[in-house]
Amino acid sequence: MPRIPQKELDELKRTVSLAAVAESQGHKLRKQGRDFVLLCPFHQEKTPSCVISPEKNLYHCFGCGAAGSVVDWMMKAEGFSLPKAVLRLREFAGSGSSPAAAVPAPSSPPARQTLTDLDDDGQALLNQVVNFYHQNLLNSPDALAWLEKRGLNHPGLVSHFKLGFAGAHGVAGALPSPYCKEGKALRTRLKALGVIRESNRQDHFRGCLIVPVTGWSESYDPASRGRVLQLYGRRTIADHMVIKGSAKHLYLPSALAGVWNEAALKASSEVILCEALIDAMTFWCAGYRNVIAAYGVNGFTTSHLAALQYHGVKRVYIAYDRDEAGDRGAEAVAGQLAGAGIEAWRVRFPQGLDTNAYAVKSGNPEAALALALEQSVRMAAAALSGSAVSLMQRDPVVTSVTVTGSNENIPSLAARPASQLTLQPAAIACETTPSGELLLKSGPRVWRVRGWQKNTLAEVMKVNVQVLDESTGAFHVDQLDMYHAKQRQAYVSTAATELACELAVIKRECGRLLLCLEQQQDERQRTAEAE
């Protein structure tokens, strides 16, 4: 591989905003003087000790000592080699991403791209095809608008997963003349790979959004590291060359191998499994990084199961479409997971909706998906021999409103932006024990609060809080003032570690617990006033 010029490295370190890169990866930055502070992604901590200096475009963690430039950050945070980190930073710089950006803005038309390299197994050529599609997307207002319409507008989505767009002509415009030796050789190789169709010489993915599935650098299969294992195409524009009724979801003719976003599995013992990549990216944009996707309703492969086992995943939330096919597919997956000793929970959307439609219709994807996950039901296999899987009967008690364009009801928290939420007493399903303890259940976790009745001041909520995972027996208990942000943050961080659960999950449930406490306090005050 050619040596990366020092001049280019210096230019990237100077021009690519480290703060923008960190925020695009989902880190929450807080302004502190001229700098930004955040929880260090390189070690576990309760209070932010990592500082990013925009003036110097450098970072330094006073907890673990990690420090360096935006290039160092990309290599350490993503586990990239130097060439891969430089490639991603080039893309980031070209997309014009910033902390306030929604989707990469179309840049000026790039110079004509040409596919030239050939190798023994087609990997170099496939990578060039992926790069071609990616640049096409960055310069396609219509394709970017389609992503925006579907709610896929996180500033880091396009660059992080190297999304692409085939356009009306696809790779044909990047090939040498079909009458020259090189042009013929490239077309022959692209036909063998499935990028060009044998029948009409057109791009197989013309008119499609492209999502590459690549081998993760720390995969259980060393041979797949960094390789393009599959390409998924989702048709987004009409094509007069396509027969009406043709499939909207396309893949290369090679085996459906690899796991999209596999790298995220190392960070959590709980994983969301979607039926389609568009749905998985919807969760990702809403802040759920621990999400993967099957290759369609019947596309949960041996690669998926092997990856879950390799990374020690304990629980999978199956977020398949809420229809007959989705229910059957979820049951089939649950049976395979049970055989591997992995819990399966069914995410139940309103009838007839998938993840993306549900999130977009709600108007507040983060709140809508949060409640959908919290209301998941445990799927239990009667036996490990492939017998039928049935949902346990457990219907959550929540208030609801009608989603625009649907006859189904969804939880009220999903109907309005988070900044406009006003919870009524019945909005949070919790209960009180005879001894006065407050109980809140969310999935396998049970939250128990003692001492909440003793608080008489409006600005104080000192309580004893225990959270127990009934599936594993792990728990955490401590005393804190729920209105004290630092104490609450410390509790959430420790509880997530003790329960081996995603930090965002515990943080969200702790927030709901606080709302429940306020709800109970309001009810007690109304009762006192009535007396």
Check residues 39 and 238 and name the one with the higher pLDDT: 39
Is the predicted pLDDT of residue 313 greater than 90, yes or no?
A: yes
Average pLDDT over residues 235-247: 60
Beta bridge partners of 184: none
Q: Pairing state of beta strands 377-381 and 389-391? A: antiparallel
pLDDT digits 0-9 by tens, 82-102:
888 888 888 777 544 433 333
For the ranges 147-156, 276-285, 330-339, 419-428, which has the lowest average pLDDT? 419-428
* pLDDT (0 to 100) of residue 200: 61
In three-state secondary structure terms, 438 is strand
The three-state secondary structure class of 364 is coil
Query: Region 405-428: what's the mean pLDDT?
Result: 33
Q: Which two tokens stand for residue 220?
A: 């259980």
Q: CA 237 to CA 207: how far, in whole Å?
A: 5
Average pLDDT, the chain: 79
Contact (Cβ atoms closer than 8 angstroms) between residue 177 and residue 115: no
> pLDDT at position 477, please?
92
pLDDT digits 0-9 by tens, 327-382? 999 999 999 999 999 999 999 999 999 999 999 998 888 888 998 998 899 987 53
pLDDT above 70 for 305: yes
Tokens read off for 174: 């990047």
Q: Is the pLDDT of residue 111 over 60?
A: no
> What 3-state DSSP class applies to 306?
helix
So what's the pLDDT on residue 119?
A: 61
* Alpha carbons 221 and 204: distance in angstroms, whole number: 28
d(CA 101, CA 24) in angstroms, rounded, equals 9
Architecture of the domain made up of 102-258: Alpha-Beta Complex (3.90)
Share of the chain above pLDDT 90, in %: 28
Alpha carbon of 464 to those of 309, 460, 479: distances in Å? 36, 13, 4
Give the DSSP per-residue string, 113-169.
P------SSSHHHHHHHHHHHHHHHHT-HHHHHHHHHTT---TTHHHHTT-EE-TTT
Chain segment 156-193, per-residue pLDDT in tens: 899 889 999 998 778 877 777 777 888 788 888 888 88
CATH topology of domain 1-100: DNA Primase; Chain A (3.90.580)
Tokens 């709901």 — which residue?
512
Q: Which of 131, 155, 220 is nearest to 22 (CA)?
A: 155
Confidence of residue 284 (pLDDT cuts 50, 70, 90): very high
Range with the lowest mean pLDDT among 191-195, 230-234, 453-457? 453-457
Which sequence spans correspond to the domains of the chain?
Answer: 1-100, 102-258, 267-420, 430-530
CATH code given to domain 267-420: 3.40.1360.10
Q: Would you give the DSSP letter of residue 203? A: B
